Structure 1
């Protein structure tokens, strides 16, 4: 709402408030907000969410935690060397699966983005492929490839690769759509073709997000590869399952601690690479804003301009950025060597993979119709509550985890805590809450809240870190305080990404709630586990198909909300 000054015929000046016009888009956003509020209230009542029951079960949770201490890193028939070998296989599986997803997701992201797709039909097909990959749980992919290729690391690589397309393709497409139109129009005005325009204007803008999201997906895949080991996909997951089945909780917590260290290392590498690619970020320390990159100690220590030199000087920043591709190739080569991927077996098995897929179709919606509907509803309301409560907490924490907003020490501490939260497998968290509050959807809600805080706070803080420092400097020059600067220059450009990530987290939690039911945390997971164990693959296909439809609806809602906010 704005205020204008108008002059009456008598010469007096009056003030009139000018209200923005009521548009179809504004009405749609209002309906969306009201619908979201109603859905949250319904989910709150359906899940019986409350923190009182959690406090009453802290004693049982503490008893369970005491049974896991002190952690063991070996046993009578399992040495530390065996554990490190299994961890290496798990890391190789995650690295190769993420690389496969990244290679396939980049072209899908450009085809799925509204501003780079060659045709709306191509965009719809690309979005459908991405949504389908995200809707099928990675454990289902692992079962399909295990039946076709046998037990080993290869089914895990393919499962992680295909399932990760659902996340990376979505985030890449959304990030490309956020590219400012100005550079694109300038390049087109110079006579460049479509491909040249994309390479010159869109790729430089999207490159930091592409690498950042790939690194983020890598630490997700590190956790997921542990779960895939439960179904014979290799790695440390098989040992973790055996330890839990034989009540060796001390060995299980030792495995979790090792994975925590790995994910912490991955977070540090991610921060360094983001710093190298995003550029000259700023960090608030005390009352001063300083450059995140170390500047030269001597103001006069600048390199003179050499008109005869075409290439820029080799500075430390340039060397670091240029070495990134070679570092990635070395890591991929080591992972390939460790995994020992049987390429010949993979090339000769399309028929076996196709046969394994056909077992799930046509889906059977009648055999377990009532259980299917009840389980899907429980999974949905569990995901809504977990996303809502976890998202609110994550939004607050994201300001303390953003490098360009928080104090440097606060930033480091919060990031480490988020890494620890992300490193604990979802099934372990769900078991802890089942012990505390009993089996049911409430345990699933608490488990999803923990996972949402750890993952969404990182994504939101990354959105905040990508704010352009130019508007911040302009607002700061007017005498605005730090809080005003963040609210006016950091939050608005990050808002579409935050909303998109929140809706993306909803369908992530919906799929995660299906797996949590395996350990008694409610939802469709119990029926899913039963159908897999009894080889009722057509009912499993019905679960996957229903999940796909719900995820597709959330995808369309997310796309509309992002366009409305941009």
Structure 2
């Protein structure tokens, strides 16, 4: 029964709800129109680029000739090969470490529940978005002018660019923590730093480590691209081999990169489980990290030590702090985790040494910092602004068409890789292996292969990115299908529905919003990758970027950067808005 005092309150609360619904419906309709517009643009790009199976069939002869020129593979001496692989891994590990260290304070400022204020949060979010939008190859060109050849250029280029992804996922993880321990520490008089160290970091540590390991895998593939602009290791060796048309050596080195990518993916998965105690938690709502890593992270928060604070017993907390700490027993699991921590520290130390980072290069960079930046400003067109805009449109077309190809291929492959959809566990494991194998091949290597098959141009770039999209998008699709509410599926099975009916009536509707978000993320990724594939003649504005840097027209490099940045930012903002509407 509603009292007289309650009635105005309910009426006051009803109006905002009606306004919210009124806002939500137009936003939902607008989001649907935008998604349809993107789909139409992707179909138009696919058609305008004249992508079809006939192109592939016609190029099979070229593929056979390429295979004849490639086989047998010519591997360098084992000592040289190990040296190149070690340098690549050292650069990648150091870059990921730099990005992770920078991302922690950036994420703390960017997270809604730990930021120091609105201005700080806005500034941190701007840093994250800008870091993602600036292509790593552009950063490599700038740092190459400052530091010259060597690992430091790759470390800084990959490291600063990785802050965009790592910082975002770190911030998302911080915003999803249980506020209970942090509130208890604050109630006991703990400072902001104590709340962060004792109440937040223990919860997000598994997410942080898993995110860094995932980025390590990405940076390993990126290192191949940066080899074309002077970063050492396997990437530079591949670039040198391809410039001299030594395909036997180039593809042999590319196969080594593939094996390293697969190995890193397997090892990082094992580390996540052994080092952090990762465990499956069925029925838990996944976050962004779970979508990217393919695992739900169960976090054991030490709330027992602050249990008394929840009831306001601050004295018991002070008494407990005065007691000597109780050390847990050295069980087999603890020994294994400690061993992994020590191994990680050893790998980091070896990587810093192996990346050949010299402090003399820093001194040189400080001296050349001002003159180097002056080379890139003001922006110049070099008299080819029309060509740059036309190639920018081609880059967008490549990204749209590649995303369409990737979505069409990834949806069935991802569905068969999902344990709750595949007809048998063996089928699910097989297609998980397919997804892993595709992820292990760098997009630049795929672009080289398709350039040989279809010739120079955007067709090669679109097919390369389309096939490459199956790796990440197929994994995300499989994870999203596995994370749906199984109750609806069981309810339909109880009524006699077959596997196909359960899939389309219960599984797909639940995962559909995640599908859209994953495709938008893939479009964002493909747009940046399409800029880089021009380095090997796969169409788009990347060719002009590399050519301008080679002939020292750095003002044109800045113009290309600004054009690319504007398009990437537009897609980023559109994707953020769509994700917000879909998850409202």
2:547 is the counterpart of 1:547 = no
Question: Following superposition of structure 1 onto structure 2, how do residues 238-257 of structure 1 map, counting pairs within 5 Å?
Answer: 238-257=236-255
3-state SS in 1 of match to 2:70:
coil
379, 395, 399: which one aligns with 1:363: 379
72, 75, 90: which one aligns with 1:73: 75
**CA drift at 1:168:** 1.9
> What is the aligned partner in structure 1 of residue 29 from structure 2?
27
> What is the aligned partner in structure 1 of residue 314 from structure 2?
none
2:578 is the counterpart of 1:561 = yes
**Contact 2:59–2:454 (8 Å) recurs in 1:** yes
Quote the Cα distance in structure 1 between the aligned partners of 2:528 and 2:184: 45
Between stretches 36-45 and 381-390, larger displacement belongs to: 36-45
2:549 is the counterpart of 1:526 = no
> What is the aligned partner in structure 1 of residue 288 from structure 2?
none
**Contact 1:282–1:403 (8 Å) recurs in 2:** no
Quote the Cα distance in structure 1 between the aligned partners of 2:197 and 2:510: 23
**CA drift at 1:202:** 5.8
> What is the aligned partner in structure 2 of residue 381 from structure 1?
397
**Contact 1:156–1:228 (8 Å) recurs in 2:** yes
Between stretches 371-380 and 343-352, larger displacement belongs to: 343-352
**Contact 2:258–2:442 (8 Å) recurs in 1:** no
3-state SS in 2 of match to 1:530:
helix
Task: Kindly provide the CA deviation profile for residues 226-276 of structure 1, in whole angstroms up to 9, marking residues without a partner as x.
Answer: 232222221122222222222221111211121222112111112223434
**CA drift at 1:120:** 3.6
Question: Following superposition of structure 1 onto structure 2, how do residues 63-212 of structure 1 map, counting pairs within 5 Å?
Answer: 63-74=65-76, 79-177=77-175, 179=176, 183-184=178-179, 188=183, 192=187, 203=201, 206-212=204-210
**CA drift at 1:343:** 3.1
2:469 is the counterpart of 1:433 = no
**Contact 1:90–1:226 (8 Å) recurs in 2:** no
Change (3 A) 1:413 1:324: same
> What is the aligned partner in structure 2 of residue 457 from structure 1?
474
Change (3 A) 1:415 1:316: farther
**CA drift at 1:484:** 8.7
Quote the Cα distance in structure 2 between the aligned partners of 1:265 and 1:151: 28
**CA drift at 1:111:** 2.8
Task: Kindly provide the CA deviation profile for residues 404-458 of structure 1, in whole angstroms up to 9, marking residues without a partner as x.
Answer: 7765544443344333323333233212222222322122110110111123223
Task: Kindly provide the CA deviation profile for residues 279-315 of structure 1, in whole angstroms up to 9, marking residues without a partner as x.
Answer: 13679xxxxxxxx99xxxxxxxxxxxxxxx9666655
Quote the Cα distance in structure 1 between the aligned partners of 2:104 and 2:470: 27
> What is the aligned partner in structure 1 of residue 356 from structure 2?
340
- For this pair of structures, how many residues does the alignment match? 514
**CA drift at 1:46:** 2.5
Between stretches 378-387 and 211-220, larger displacement belongs to: 211-220
**Contact 1:60–1:436 (8 Å) recurs in 2:** yes
**CA drift at 1:560:** 1.9
> What is the aligned partner in structure 1 of residue 213 from structure 2?
215
39, 42, 45: which one aligns with 2:41: 39
3-state SS in 2 of match to 1:278:
coil
Change (3 A) 1:271 1:474: farther
3-state SS in 2 of match to 1:349:
helix
**CA drift at 1:155:** 1.0
Change (3 A) 1:366 1:148: closer
> What is the aligned partner in structure 1 of residue 522 from structure 2?
505
Give the root-mean-square deviation of aligned CA atoms.
3.5
Task: Kindly provide the CA deviation profile for residues 38-71 of structure 1, in whole angstroms up to 9, marking residues without a partner as x.
Answer: 3223323332222222122222112212321121
**Contact 1:226–1:237 (8 Å) recurs in 2:** yes
Change (3 A) 1:386 1:50: same
Change (3 A) 1:477 1:32: closer
Change (3 A) 1:41 1:65: same
**CA drift at 1:224:** 1.8
**CA drift at 1:25:** 2.8
**CA drift at 1:564:** 2.2
**Contact 1:440–1:522 (8 Å) recurs in 2:** yes
**Contact 1:456–1:505 (8 Å) recurs in 2:** yes
Question: Following superposition of structure 1 onto structure 2, how do residues 456-495 of structure 1 map, counting pairs within 5 Å?
Answer: 456-462=473-479, 467=483, 472=486
Q: TM-score, normalised by structure 2?
A: 0.78
3-state SS in 2 of match to 1:557:
helix
Task: Kindly provide the CA deviation profile for residues 57-96 of structure 1, in whole angstroms up to 9, marking residues without a partner as x.
Answer: 222112212321121212xxxx221121111101100111
Change (3 A) 1:535 1:195: same
**CA drift at 1:534:** 1.4
Quote the Cα distance in structure 2 between the aligned partners of 1:329 and 1:217: 18
